[in-house]
Amino acid sequence: MTPRVCVIVNPAAGRGRGGRMLPAVRAAFSAVGVGDVRTTTGPGEEGDLARRAIAEGCTTLVGVGGDGTWSNVAAAILAAGADCRLGLLAAGTGNDFAKTVGAPARDLAASARLAVEGPDRHVDVGTVEGHTFLNIAGFGIDIAVLEELGRVRWLRGDALYLFAALRQLFGYPGLEVEVASPAGRRGGGRHLMLIIANARRFGGAFHIAPGADPADGLLDAVSVLDAPLLGRFRLFGAVTRGRHGAHPEVRTEQAARFTLRFPAPPAYETDGEYRRAQSRELEVACLPRAIRIVTPVPAVM
């Protein structure tokens, strides 16, 4: 059965890149017979548009934006209990999830063809406090970097995140957190960063969980313990190359769920979306193979 395709565009993604892409998006999808292109008018509206499209019978939704846009559409699909596929078209800052699943998210024509006639793969979804994520949930310096992004107006894409991260290396005070899994409880400690990853990369250039498989029913917890400034720079360089696992400040573990305990409710992010926790104890869990992603290659490259 030919899928009924709806394209959901976030014009604000990538500091307006989504809006600038809109004419080309319409043309590419029109060329494959798809004319249902809808645009958001405010933050988080992707979910509303996705729910409406599902109710109208759409069976493939294409998110045009970044990791946050894709997660918002995925959340709507899950909430609706719909057997609906998600296609990825990159217009955001990092667009990291597409890199792990191998979707040609920067190729308009290829993405349009795949949405109409391409294969898909079932992949896992992460959850925390009722929020879903396809890529990562981040704590610690990740939040300071997210806040820094809003203050830097003269860079875009991967370079923007790298610049913001380098600036925060100098002054970030660290975060106390204890990580527990069904296998046991680690000692607490001051962290530079804690990432719970479903996929391999975040921030454009950071290979945070090189061994992550988004279809294995597990999440990867990557704890980067705090270090003096020189050590922070060493860790920063190692993470960009995916070689941080051998450093003594880095602890990694795979599990279907993790319990995180903080001295106070922390700020955190899910796929670039800023959150404020409701509790000092959070459970981060994996929903195995919960959603279908349109992609032409196996889920891990």
> Quick one: pLDDT band at residue 118, thresholds 50, 70, 90?
very high
Is the distance from CB of 285 to CB of 111 less than 8 angstroms?
no
Please tell me which residue, 167 or 82, carries the higher pLDDT value.
82
Please report how many Cα atoms fall inside a 13 Å half-sphere around the Cα of residue 238, on the Cβ side: 16
Q: For residue range 243-270, what is the model confidence (pLDDT) as tens digits?
A: 888 888 899 999 999 999 999 999 999 9
Q: SS in 3 state form for 191-236?
A: EEEEEEECCCCECCCECCCCCCCCCCCCEEEEEEECCCHHHHHHHH
At how many degrees (to 10) do helices 13-30 and 108-117 cross? 60
Mean pLDDT of the chain, nearest integer: 90
pLDDT value, residue 301: 41
Q: For residue range 72-114, what is the model confidence (pLDDT) as tens digits?
A: 999 999 999 999 999 999 998 889 999 999 999 999 999 999 9
What fold does the segment set 133-289 form as a domain?
Tumour Suppressor Smad4 (2.60.200)
Q: pTM of the prediction?
A: 0.90
129 counts as catalytic? no
Q: What is the pLDDT averaged over residues 136-142?
A: 92
Q: What is the pLDDT averaged over residues 179-202?
A: 87
Model confidence at 300: pLDDT above 50: no
Model confidence at 156: pLDDT above 70: no
Domain ranges in the chain? 5-118, 133-289
Q: Which residues contact 120 (CB under 8 A, 6 or more apart)?
A: 85, 292, 293, 294, 295
Q: Of 45, 129, 253, 283, which is the active-site residue? A: 253
| CATH number 3.40.640.10 given to 5-118 | no
Taking CA atoms, 35 is separated from 10, 88, 124, in Å, by 17, 17, 30
pLDDT value, residue 299: 43
Is the distance from CB of 186 to CB of 178 less than 8 angstroms?
yes
Model confidence at 137: pLDDT above 80: yes
Q: For residue range 201-235, what is the model confidence (pLDDT) as tens digits?
A: 987 778 999 999 999 999 999 999 988 888 888 88
pLDDT value, residue 24: 98
Q: What is the pLDDT averaged over residues 18-36?
A: 97
pLDDT value, residue 157: 60
Q: What is the pLDDT averaged over residues 152-158?
A: 60
pLDDT value, residue 154: 56
What one-character DSSP code corresponds to residue 257?
E
Residue 217 and residue 130: Cα distance in Å, rounded?
A: 18
Residue 132 and residue 142: Cα distance in Å, rounded?
A: 18
Please tell me which residue, 272 or 219, carries the higher pLDDT value.
219
pLDDT value, residue 186: 67
